[in-house]
Amino acid sequence: MDYILNPWPWYVAGPLIALCMYLMFYFGKKFGVSSNLETLCSVAGAGKVVDFFKFDWRAKQWNLNFVAGLIIGGFIASQWLAPDQSVALNPDVVQNLSEIGIQNAGAQYLPDEIYSLDALLSLKGFLILLGAGLLVGFGARYSGGCTSGHGIVGLSNLFTESFIAVAGFFIGGLIMTWLILPYIF
């Protein structure tokens, strides 16, 4: 039981993620999360404003079920499968985060400076959360995939487009982490 309750090492998680990808293709579909963002736009009636969203979202119900599963999986894991939700970070990172204004790094999964209710209810905190979402949603659909569609499936198929997209993920991530985050908090 300890094997399940302790954090899972990368060499367990990575192959299991590949298994999830296999299962989605085995069931005749594909593996990708961010296209659900478009489906949810369509569900919300975006087809009235932008023609792209006029597709029949019912044809994407298999993927909405997959995403509903993600929510349930998060609930199950956080309630019953992870008694200790601290993250064993590199001490250098804890020190570095403290210097840029994020305290108690790794004490829990998420920093209070971004994800606490206090942060959510401040104007700056709200804009950080909304901005992060906007960038992820816009960028994922501009490039045509996220970490699952480009990162796992695309690279597994050796798609040139996915190598370019993943290089982009890293350029953007490095700019944010090294050049912008130090001045936000």
Touching other proteins, residues 10-49 (CB under 8 A): 10-30, 33-34, 36-38, 40-41, 44, 46, 49
Rounded to 5°, the CA angle 159-161-163 comes to 75
Instruction: Work out how close the CB of 100 gets to other proteins at its nearest, in angstroms, rounded to a whole number.
Output: 10
Task: Give the per-residue contact string, 49-88, with other proteins (x = CB under 8 A; - = no).
Answer: xx-xx-------xxx-xxxxxxxxxxxxxx--xx----x-
Task: Say how far apart CA 136 and CA 141 lie, in whole Å.
Answer: 9
Q: What is the size of the binding site for other proteins (CB under 8 A)?
A: 128
Alpha carbon 75 to its chain centroid, in Å, reads: 16
Residue 182 interacts with other proteins (CB under 8 A): yes or no: no
Instruction: Work out how close the CB of 42 gets to other proteins at its nearest, in angstroms, rounded to a whole number.
Output: 10
Residue 89 interacts with other proteins (CB under 8 A): yes or no: yes
Instruction: Work out how close the CB of 56 gets to other proteins at its nearest, in angstroms, rounded to a whole number.
Output: 15
CA-closest candidate to residue 4, choices 119, 83, 94: 83
| Interface of this chain with other proteins, residues 98 to 157, rule: CB under 8 A | 105-106, 109-111, 114-117, 119-120, 125-126, 128-157
Task: Give the per-residue contact string, 158-177, with other proteins (x = CB under 8 A; - = no).
Answer: xx-xx-xxxxxxxxxxxxxx
Judge contact between 185 and 69, C-beta under 8 A: no
Instruction: Work out how close the CB of 127 gets to other proteins at its nearest, in angstroms, rounded to a whole number.
Output: 9
CA-closest candidate to residue 111, choices 128, 133, 92, 131: 128
Q: Out of 56, 99, 101, 180, which residue is the one contacting other proteins (CB under 8 A)?
A: 180
CB burial of residue 58 (10 Å; 0-12, 13-18, 19+): exposed
